Amino acid sequence: MNFRGRDVISIRDFSRAEILSILRLAARMERAAPPRLLDGRTLATLFFEPSTRTRLSFESAMQRLGGRVVGFADPSSTSAKKGETLADTIRMAEHYADVIVIRHPLEGSARLAAEVASIPVINGGDGANQHPTQTFVDLFTIAKTHPGLLSGRGRPLEIGFVGDLKYGRTVHSLVTALCHFPVRFVFLSPASLKMPEPFLRIVRDAKVPFEEAEEAEAFLPRLDILYATRIQAERFPDPIEYERVRNTYRLTADKLSDVKSGFRILHPLPRVNEIATDVDATPHAWYFRQAANGIPMRQAILAAVLGRLR
């Protein structure tokens, strides 16, 4: 499959076959990433909003393939601060690089950037909307621990999502993407942070079975994967309610006594206190490996849209 010149804006733009193809390319990069594959190519990282993992992993992925990186991590040092429009910034940057990664607080900004630019644009997060490369990393991680996901052999994977399911864009994108595969979902959240109806409709339309519950612990022994997200204090007008919720959903090692041996915990990071550090030493903690998977996946995406991998 040829992704040359392709923009990566929303996971919804990718078919099942395309997702599978990108996962295969990431596996190839993980086995052996040619250190000169992107020799002479330049990536522009336009980060209008702070980010640690996404920016560093893109920069590392580019450099490990022999490419170069220009860009900014702080919009206060750019002419956006002087009132330059996003469209103008993109028209400038496209002459300085061969591919752009953009993170911007406004939703739809990456789509606009892709329409303006003649070079490929990769969305590194547009507000609460999409973060497709994180979704590819998450899928890659799940597919590595549970290969049945892609082969379709065996029973459907039981995947739990816990925490802030209302505002968590990584949850929304991952759920959308997983609907292509044999899965069952369990959505575990306080009532005020439930999975929004438009995403439940996507799940229903895909005929993927799902359950919703507020009580998380009872479901743990059934799950193959638990995808945990951060519950942010600002979502709760009442600080006492926030304290109650965050303690209820905190995952600790002693809650994992009855889980399956292949049970894996994923988290897009940064983790704050929703996963206790005593979980890190258990065989179920998979979030740092998930973060490590960001490199081969982003190498695959960069090389694919630059036409160096197919």
Site residues, other proteins (CB under 8 A):
10, 12, 85-87, 104-109, 111-112, 126-130, 198
CB of 86 to other proteins, least distance (A): 6
Give yes or no: 52 in active site.
Answer: no
Nearer to other proteins, 109 or 299 (CB): 109
Nearer to other proteins, 121 or 302 (CB): 121
Nearer to other proteins, 11 or 157 (CB): 11
CB of 158 to other proteins, least distance (A): 28
Q: Which two tokens stand for residue 260?
A: 């399956």
CB of 82 to other proteins, least distance (A): 15
Helix (H, G, I), strand (E, B) or coil at 174: helix
Give yes or no: 82 in active site.
Answer: yes
Give the bridge partners for 157, in sequence order. Answer: 183
- For residue 37, the tally of other CB atoms under 10 A from its CB is 18
Q: Which two tokens stand for residue 125?
A: 């997060």
Give yes or no: 16 in active site.
Answer: no
Nearer to other proteins, 130 or 134 (CB): 130
Active-site pick, 24, 28, 42, 53 = 53
Cα–Cα dist 113/98, whole Å: 14
Give yes or no: 103 in active site.
Answer: yes
Q: Annotate 128-149 with DSSP letters as a single string.
A: TS--HHHHHHHHHHHHHH-THH
CB of 263 to other proteins, least distance (A): 32
Cα–Cα dist 180/185, whole Å: 13
Active-site pick, 6, 131, 172, 298 = 131
Active-site pick, 31, 36, 82, 207 = 82
**Type of residue found at 11:** I
Could you tell me if residue 306 is left (phi over 0), alpha (psi between -120 and 50 degrees) or otherwise beta?
alpha
Report the catalytic residues.
53-54, 82, 103, 131
